[in-house]
Chain A
Amino acid sequence: MPQFEAVVTIELKPDILDPAGEATGHVLQQLGYPLEQLRIGRHITLTVQAADVAQAERLVGEMAQNLLANPVMETYQVQVKAG
C-alpha cells in the first residue's frame, strides 16, 4: 500500500485560555518586540499507509479526533501530502 505523509496542526479553541502563550508573549514584549498576540499549538507529522489520499485523510482525521487532539479544548487541521 502507498505511504502518505501527513501533518496535523492542533490549536486551542479561540475562547480557551493559553497560559503558556500568554507568558511567552509577555516575555517577547518585554524584550521589545512589537507583539500583538501569541498562541501555542502543536504540530504532528505522521506517515500512514492508505489506498489513496482520501483514505489517508480519513485515517489521520480519526487519529486526531480520537487521540492527538483534545476535542473539548482544541481544534485540528489535517494536511496530507500526495504520496
Chain B
Amino acid sequence: MRAEEVGLSRREYEKIVELMKRPPNDLELGLFGALWSEHCSYKSTKALLAGLPHSGADVVQGPGENAGVVRLSDDVEVAFKVESHNHPSSVEPVQGAATGVGGILRDIIAMGARPVALADMLRFGTDEASQRLRAGVVRGIGLYANAIGIPTVTGDIGFADTYRSNPLVNVLAVGIRAPNHRINASTACPQHYLVLLGQRTGRDGIHGASLLASRDFTHSSEDLRPTVQVGDPFLGKLLMEATLEAVLGGFVAALQDLGAAGLTSAVAELCHSSGVGADLWLDRVPLRQQGLSAYEIMLSETQERMLMAVGAEHLDAVIQICKRWDIPATVIGQATASDDLRLLQDGVEVGCVKPRWLVADAPRRSVARAWWDGLDQSGAHRRVDPPMFSSELLLKVLGHPDVRDRASVYSQYDSMIQTNTVYGPEHEVSVLRVKQQAAGLALAVCGSGRWAALDPYAGASAVVLLALARIAAQGGEPLGLTDGVNAGNPDNQASYEATAALVRGLADAARACQVPITGGNVSLHNETDSQAIWPTLMIGALGRHPHPLRPVGEALPEAGAQLFLINPAPPDWGGSVAAELVSELCTYPHPSLQKAHHVLTTMQHWARREHPGSVRTIGVGGLAATLVRFLAVSRPELGIDIQIAEPGADKTGRFYNEAPLQWVVVVASDQVLALQEYWDRAHIAIVPLGVVTDDATLTVDKRYRWTRSDLLGVWRRS
C-alpha cells in the first residue's frame, strides 16, 4: 500500500518512518492515514484555532475533549458542542444527517452528560436538487433526534448557489451532568479493561470521515465513496441509557465515543489523554459480518459504539447493565503501563504504534504571527448604494428563503420531549428550564452565510455578536460559545486565507465580548472542482437564563405600546438579503467590537428587569423582518406604525440593514421614560420608531402600508 492511497503526502510518510524508525506495515500506515487526515488532525487549522479565547470563570472543560463543559450552578454542569456532517450528508442526505446527530450526541454522552437539546444549522443550494437534499437532511435529523428522544429546540437555515455541491449540515447538542459525575477520556489507568459497547462492527465507512471529509469532491470521486454508514437511533438510545447508567454507578474510569476513524481514533485518543498504552485484541471485537481484516476493524466507522476503560472490580457491573439494555459489551483489550498501542490478532502482533504519534505528531501548518495579526480584513470590498424606499421590496425580502418562516422544517422535529422547552424553534432564541434549578438555559444559533462571503472577518465577528445579542435579549448571561468553521480546500491559498480571516473574526469578537469558546469543529474541503463555498461560521451561544419560566416576551403587548430601536448601526445595507435581491452581493459592514461588551451587558441587565417589555434582535432580513416577526406572534388585530428618520436611500438602508447588536424593544407607554433614561445613562443610542396600533397593518412614514395578512402570507409560504 502506498502513502497516497491513505491520503498521506510523501513528506508525511517520511515523518512516519522517522518516528517509527522503520517503514510502517499496511495496517499501521492505515492508522496514520486516518488520524493524520485533515478531519482528524486539524493539521491546517490547529495553529489558527490556538488564537481563540478559551478561559472563563464558568469553564469546566475547554477544547480538546469530546465537548466543552461550563458551569450553570453548583449542581449542574452543561456540555455542548457543534459538529459537522457535510460530506456524508452530500453523499446520502438522510443517513448522513442522521449519523451526524448520533455522533454529536455521543460526544456529549462521552462527557457523562445526558443530552437535553439539539439544534441544526444548515446551508443548501438554490436549485431543485438542493431542495431534495434539504428534504432528506431534515428527514434524517428528525429520524434520529425524534426517535432517540432529544428535543430539537432551535436552528438556522440558509440558501445560496455557493452551497449547491457542498451543503452544510452542522448539528449542536447540549447535555447536563452533576459535577460529581465528571468523566472524560483522560482517566484510564494501566490494567483497566477496554470495553467496546454497542453495534457490532461492520464494513461501514472504512476511511469514511477521514478520507471523504479531507478531500474535495470532483466529478470523478464517486468510487472513492465508502460504504454509507447507517444510523440506528434505537440502538443509540439503548447505548445512551446503558452508558449513562454505568457512569452514574461510578463503574467507568474513562469514556470515549467512536466517531471518525472508529476504533483507531477512540483508542489512540483515550490512551494519549490518559498517558497509557494498550493491548488491543482484535479477534475479540464483535463483528456483524465475517472476514473483516484487522485494517477494516480498526478503521470501520460503524455507528452507535462507545469505548470504556473499566477496572476489573467493576467489569461485571458494566456487563450486567449492558445486558439489561440488551446491547453487546465486550472486553477488547487492556490499558498498559507502556506507551505502545499493540494490535494483536489471535495472539500475534499485527501492528504497534505510539498513541502520541497518531494523535499529536501529525505535521502541522504553522502560522506567521505578523500575518495573523494583520488579518482583520480580507476579500474584495464592494459597496452598492440602496435604491429609494419602495413598497415592493419588503415582500421580496420576506419571501426570501433565508428570511421565511422556518416552520416547515422545525415542525418535523420533536421540540417538546423532556418537557423543558419554554421557548422552542418558533422563537429566535431557545429557553429551556433545568428541572430543580432556578437558572435555565438560553441557546442561540446562527451562521454567517452571505455576511462572510466577501469579508469573512466581518461576517464571522458579526455572527458571534448576533448570537450573543439574542442571549442578552433574554437577560441571559453568556457562558460559552461553540464554533463550526466550514470552508474550502486549505491547500488553495485563497481558501486558506478566507478560513484564517473567519477564525480571526471569531477570535476577536469572542475576546471583545469576553466569552470563551469551549469547543467546536472545523470542516474543510467544502470545495468541488475548485469552487469553494463561502467561508461559513456557525455559532452556538449558551447562556444562563435567570428565570426560564418567565422568558422575555417576543410579541406586541397592546395597541398604544411604543417601539424603540436600540443601538442603531449606520444605515448600510451591505451583505443583506435586500441588497442581494436588488443588485448584487456587496460587502457586509465592518462591525465595531470596541463597545460590544458594554452594549451586550447593558441589554442583558435591561432584559433581567421586572418589566423589560418585548425584545427582538435584528438579524437576517433587518428591521423589516423583525417587525413582521413581531406581527406573526401577536394578536391578529395588532399592527405597527413607524417613522424612519433617515431620508432617501438611507431609509432603505435603515429598513434592511443587518448589522449586529441592534434590538427592537416594545414597552407600554408608562415605561417609556425609564427605558430612555436607562439607555441614555449607558450612552447607547435609542431611537423612537413608532407605536403599536390595532389596525392589523404595518405602516411606514404614513405612506407605505401592508396588511398583516399579506405580509404573513408571503412570510409563511413554504
Contact = CB atoms under 8 A, between A and B. Distances in A.
Direct A–B contact in complex, judged by CB atoms less than 8 Å apart: yes
Interface of A: 13-19, 22-23, 26, 70, 72-73
A15 B204 CA distance: 7
B230 A15 contact: no
Interface in B70-94: 91-92
Nearest to A72: B92
Contact of A16 (B199, B228, B234, B326): B228
B199 to A, nearest CB: 7
Contact of A73 (B199, B228, B231, B302): B228
Interface in B192-232: 199, 202-204, 225, 227-232
Given A73-B95, A73-B228, 20 more contacts: A13-B227, A15-B202, A15-B203, A15-B227, A16-B227, A16-B228, A17-B199, A17-B204, A17-B229, A17-B303, A19-B230, A19-B231, A19-B232, A19-B234, A19-B235, A22-B232, A22-B235, A26-B326, A70-B92, A72-B228
A73 B235 CA distance: 20
A23 B92 contact: no
7 contacts: A15-B204, A15-B289, A16-B227, A17-B229, A19-B230, A19-B232, A72-B92
A23 B236 CA distance: 13
The 4 A-B residue pairs with the shortest CB-CB distance, nearest first, are: A19-B232, A17-B230, A15-B203, A15-B227
B288 interface: yes
Q: Chain B CB within 10 Å — which of A19, A22, A73 has the most?
A: A19
Nearest to A14: B289
Contacts of B225: 72
B230 A18 contact: yes
B230 A16 contact: yes
A14 B228 CA distance: 11
A17 B227 CA distance: 10
A16 B203 CA distance: 8
A13 to B, nearest CB: 7
A17 B203 CA distance: 9
A17 B234 CA distance: 13
A73 B92 CA distance: 8
B263 to A, nearest CB: 16
B230 A72 contact: no
A16 B300 CA distance: 12
A16 B326 CA distance: 22
Contacts of B289: 14-15
B299 to A, nearest CB: 14
A61 to B, nearest CB: 20
B288 A72 contact: no
A82 B179 CA distance: 70
Q: Chain A CB within 10 Å — which of B202, B228, B229, B326 has the most?
A: B228
Contacts of A22: 232, 235
A72 B91 contact: yes
A33 B231 CA distance: 27
A62 to B, nearest CB: 18
Nearest to B203: A15
Contacts of B203: 15
Interface string B280-302: 00000000110000000000001
A72 B202 CA distance: 17
A22 B225 CA distance: 25
Contact of B232 (A13, A14, A17, A73): A17
A16 B302 CA distance: 10
Contacts of A23: 234
Contacts of A13: 227
A73 B136 CA distance: 14
Contacts of A73: 92, 95, 228, 230
Contacts of B204: 15-17
A40 to B, nearest CB: 12
Contacts of B234: 19, 23
Contacts of B230: 16-19, 73
Contacts of B228: 16, 72-73
B91 A17 contact: no
A38 to B, nearest CB: 13
A23 B327 CA distance: 11
Nearest to A70: B92
A66 B92 CA distance: 14
Nearest to A17: B230
Nearest to A18: B230
B92 A17 contact: no
A23 B288 CA distance: 13
B328 to A, nearest CB: 11
B104 to A, nearest CB: 19
A23 B203 CA distance: 19
Contacts of A18: 230
Contacts of B326: 26
A23 B232 CA distance: 10
A73 B303 CA distance: 16
Contacts of B303: 17
A16 B205 CA distance: 9
Interface string B324-335: 001000000000
A5 to B, nearest CB: 29
A10 to B, nearest CB: 15
A22 B233 CA distance: 13
Contacts of B231: 19
Q: Chain A CB within 10 Å — which of B91, B232, B302 has the most?
A: B232
Contacts of A15: 202-204, 227, 289
Interface string B291-327: 0000000000011000000000000000000000010
